[in-house]
């Protein structure tokens, strides 16, 4: 993939934004297990970062996905995965379907303020009983007059405590099978009947708020449905394409920085009268990790190019997400080894990376689900 001067300029301004507005506060926000998302998103929205690929008529920049790839990659520079995830929900997980399939009225009401950073959004797909098996969700949205009446619950909702609206996947019918009976609906999170008081305490991603959300006879107008009724599962699968590319892109930068920092640290750390990096074992191991990251970058960039061309990139996306999930486990573990006790400190970057990156192999489709997709698409299953 060729990055132009425009891509490089965007990259520099995102990097400067992160170094100015986010990284200096990461320790404080991680300790507090939350960050001021409305404040940070407003600043990101003012800079134009929340609508890079979104249509200009709704406040976006209208650029192609290669520019969003720069955004996703640079978010890996944030020193806390929770904040990067939270921003990713806003740009790459909960808004692509609305941007493409939503009515103009809906896009004015929900997409524009989300791009501007005036609204925070969350994505409600996973449930207590349905994560990998998205088709088996139980939450229902039943028609009543001009409204939908929503009942059920969502689990693992990133941004769920603070969000102004949710992109909700719910069953809107009982016929046509589990892939054609669902719809995506914009749900204002202050609607009567929503309980999102349960904040989940997690192994990593501390500064992102993750909620369990309950719906008890929650009414929203039917015009809040995104696109056609019954096509929600398909729209969500399309959103997953972007979510998985996003995860892979962000992981490239996270892993690259970790290997670079480990090389720097081992160059400066003296043991047995010489820098640790003078040991061939460490040189070769870092060279090997570097090669793995190059493979991830190559697969992911091929996916980005295919996405821009409108190709079928189901296999490439699954491969990129799978590779990212694997490296997100092995790279931090191997790097921690070379940091020794300094890496084992609770507040070290490598320790945080180990906790935060662990989710890449689970969230947005676990590694096994990625292998299932690849096997199906290649006709093995
Ligand atoms: C911190 C966090 C934030 C999240 N944010 C959101 C969010 O904002 N919105 C949202 O909707 N969801 C969110 N999720 C949910 C996430 O996408 C799910 O956790 C994920 O899809 C896995 O679902 P599950 O946890 O129910 O695991 P399960 O479906 O119970 O699967 C458990 C494990 O079983 C294995 N497995 C599953 N299927 C197969 C198979 N076919 N073959 C072999 N092995 C298999 C995998 O190892 C998998 O990890 C989040 C999760 C976490 C932990």
Structure confidence at residue 347 as a pLDDT band (50, 70, 90): confident
200 and 293 together in one domain: no
**What SS3 class is residue 319?**
helix
166 and 287 together in one domain: no
The ligand 1 atom at the shortest distance from the C-alpha of residue 123 is: 9
The separation between CA 303 and the C-alpha centre of its own chain, rounded to angstroms, equals 16
Number of domains in the chain: 3
286 and 308 together in one domain: yes
249 and 172 together in one domain: no
Mutate-to-test residue for ligand 1 from 363, 365, 380, highest number of ligand atoms within 8 A of CB: 363
Structure confidence at residue 7 as a pLDDT band (50, 70, 90): very high
167 and 262 together in one domain: no
> How far is the centre of ligand 1, averaged over its atoms, from the C-alpha of 288 (Å)?
29
Q: What is the CATH number of the domain that holds 254?
A: 1.20.140.10
**What SS3 class is residue 227?**
coil
10 and 91 together in one domain: yes
> How far is the centre of ligand 1, averaged over its atoms, from the C-alpha of 127 (Å)?
9
- pLDDT per position as a tens digit, 270-317: 999 999 999 999 999 999 999 999 999 999 999 999 999 999 999 999
What pLDDT does residue 28 have?
Answer: 97
Residue 351 CB coordination number (10 Å): 18
The DSSP symbol for 108 reads I
What pLDDT does residue 378 have?
Answer: 97
Structure confidence at residue 2 as a pLDDT band (50, 70, 90): confident
Residue 88 CB coordination number (10 Å): 24
Catalytic residue at 261? no
**Residue 163 Cβ < 6 Å to ligand 1:** no
88 and 11 together in one domain: yes
The ligand 1 atom at the shortest distance from the C-alpha of residue 200 is: 1
Percentage of residues of the chain with pLDDT beyond 70 = 100
Can you tell me the mean pLDDT for 175-187?
Answer: 95
Residue 114 CB contacts under 8 Å (≥ 6 apart), including other chains: 50, 90, 95, 120, 121, 165
Q: What is the mean pLDDT of the chain?
A: 97
What pLDDT does residue 57 have?
Answer: 97
Pairing of strands 165-171, 121-124: parallel
Q: What are phi and psi of 43, to 5 degrees?
A: -65, -40
52 and 168 together in one domain: no
- pLDDT per position as a tens digit, 90-104: 999 999 999 999 999
248 and 325 together in one domain: yes
Query: Please, how many CA atoms are within 13 Å of residue 109, restricted to the half-sphere of its CB?
Result: 15
Q: How far apart are CA 217 and CA 259, in angstroms?
A: 50
- pLDDT per position as a tens digit, 115-158: 999 999 999 999 999 999 999 999 999 999 999 999 999 999 99
Q: Using the predicted structure, report yes or no on whether residue 345 has a pLDDT greater than 80.
A: yes
Residue 328 CB contacts under 8 Å (≥ 6 apart), including other chains: 251, 254, 255, 357, 358, 360, 361
240 and 371 together in one domain: yes
Dmax (CA) for the chain in angstroms is: 79
- pLDDT per position as a tens digit, 32-88: 999 999 999 999 999 999 999 999 999 999 999 999 999 999 999 999 999 999 999
Residue 301 CB contacts under 8 Å (≥ 6 apart), including other chains: 1, 69
337 and 222 together in one domain: no
**Residue 86 Cβ < 6 Å to ligand 1:** no
174 and 185 together in one domain: yes
Among the listed ranges 1-5, 188-192, 363-367, which one has the minimum average pLDDT value?
1-5
What pLDDT does residue 336 have?
Answer: 98
Q: Which domain holds residue 96?
A: 5-120
What pLDDT does residue 176 have?
Answer: 87
> How far is the centre of ligand 1, averaged over its atoms, from the C-alpha of 129 (Å)?
10
Q: How far apart are CA 130 and CA 327, in angstroms?
A: 26
Q: pTM for the whole thing?
A: 0.97
């Amino acid at each position: 993939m060729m990055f132009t001067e425009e891509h490089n300029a965007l990259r520099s301004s995102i990097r400067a934004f992160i170094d100015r507005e986010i990284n200096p506060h990461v320790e404080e926000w991680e300790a507090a297990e939350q960050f001021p998302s409305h404040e940070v998103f407003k600043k990101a929205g003012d800079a134009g970062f929340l609508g890079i690929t979104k249509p200009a008529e709704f406040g976006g920049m209208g650029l192609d996905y290669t520019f969003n790839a720069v955004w996703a990659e640079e978010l890996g520079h944030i020193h806390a995965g929770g904040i990067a995830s939270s921003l990713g929900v806003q740009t790459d997980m909960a808004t692509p379907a609305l941007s493409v399939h939503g009515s103009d009225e809906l896009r004015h009401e929900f997409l524009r303020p989300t791009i501007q950073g005036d609204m925070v959004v969350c994505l409600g797909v996973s449930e207590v009983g349905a994560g990998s098996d998205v088709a088996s969700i139980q939450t229902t949205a039943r028609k009543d007059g001009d409204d939908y009446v929503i009942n059920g619950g969502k689990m693992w909702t990133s941004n769920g405590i603070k969000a102004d609206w949710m992109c909700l996947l719910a069953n809107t019918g009982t016929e046509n099978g589990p892939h054609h009976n669902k719809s995506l609906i914009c749900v204002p999170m202050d609607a009567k009947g929503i309980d999102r008081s349960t904040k989940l305490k997690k192994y990593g991603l501390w500064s992102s708020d993750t909620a369990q959300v309950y719906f008890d006879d929650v009414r929203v107008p039917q015009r809040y449905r995104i696109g056609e009724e019954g096509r929600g599962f398909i729209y969500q699968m399309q959103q997953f394409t972007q979510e998985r590319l996003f995860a892979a892109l962000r992981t490239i930068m996270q892993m690259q920085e970790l290997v670079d920092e480990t090389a720097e640290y081992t160059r400066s750390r003296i043991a047995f009268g010489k820098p640790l990096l003078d040991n061939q074992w460490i040189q070769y191991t870092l060279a090997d990790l570097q090669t793995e990251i190059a493979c991830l970058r190559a697969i992911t960039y091929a996916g980005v190019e295919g996405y821009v061309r409108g190709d079928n990139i189901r296999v490439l996306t699954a491969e990129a997400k799978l590779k990212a999930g694997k490296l997100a486990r092995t790279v931090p573990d191997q790097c921690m080894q070379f940091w020794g006790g300094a890496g084992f400190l609770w507040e070290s970057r490598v320790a945080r990376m180990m906790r935060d990156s662990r989710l890449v192999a689970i969230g947005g489709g676990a590694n096994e689900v990625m292998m299932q997709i690849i096997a199906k698409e290649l006709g093995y299953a």
